[in-house]
Amino acid sequence: MMDVSMAIRKRRSIRSYQDREVDETALNQVLEAARLAPSANNRQEWKFVVVREKAMRQRLAEAANRQTFIAQAPVIIVACATESQSVMMCGQPRYTVDVSIAVAFMLIQAAGLGLGTCWIGAFDEATVKNILRIPENIRVVAMTPLGYPTGEYPSKPRKELSQITSFETYQ
């Protein structure tokens, strides 16, 4: 397993997966990363639905603007918020921040294990909820396919650190 810094540098949005199962140990490590993620007041108001069944994966890909590569992965993880009414003092909805942190932890852990992922935010939430029998009061925040990439993916250009940071005041 690679160190965290290297996993962050290696992570890519993967859109092509090998026809190879993700073993239980690796899957559990990815899910454990989400479990250990920080959340506001340590509330951990999330649930992750692991989908392996091929027909269900295909239905989820359809609900995600027909992005067929999603169903190609042997696993899809659907990240849900179990409480969506709370707002942090800064005005941000707690669930979007907390679940996003947990998903980011999963993506980094997956990269460290040589697994590919892709943050999916383009989906019809009502359809996903219907497919997975998710209760009305639960929000679906994101999905990610999880599997072994078919090849190497080059990094995309990133802004320079000086372009995205300032010190003491916003500049």
- Kind plus residue range of the DSSP H or E element containing 161: helix 161-164
Backbone angles phi, psi at 147, to 5 degrees: -175, -175
Q: What is the pLDDT of residue 132?
A: 98
Taking CA atoms, 113 is separated from 6, 28, 118, 146, in Å, by: 11, 11, 15, 11
Backbone angles phi, psi at 106, to 5 degrees: -60, -45
Q: Count CB atoms within 10 A of the CB of residue 34.
A: 21
Nearest by Cα to 84 from 118, 40, 52, 124: 40
Class of domain 4-164: alpha beta
* % of the chain residues with pLDDT over 90: 94
For residue range 36-75, list pLDDT tens digits in order: 999 999 999 999 999 999 999 999 999 999 999 999 999 9
* % of the chain residues with pLDDT over 70: 99
Q: Which residues of 41-77 are buried (b: 16+ CB within 10 A; e: fewer)?
A: eeebbbebbebeeeeebebbbbbbeebebbbbbbbbb
Owner of token pair 């219907």: 130
- Domains of the chain, residue spans: 4-164
Q: What is the pLDDT of residue 71?
A: 98
Report the DSSP beta bridge partners of residue 46. 81
pLDDT at 90 over 70: yes
d(CA 44, CA 17): 30
pLDDT at 76 over 80: yes
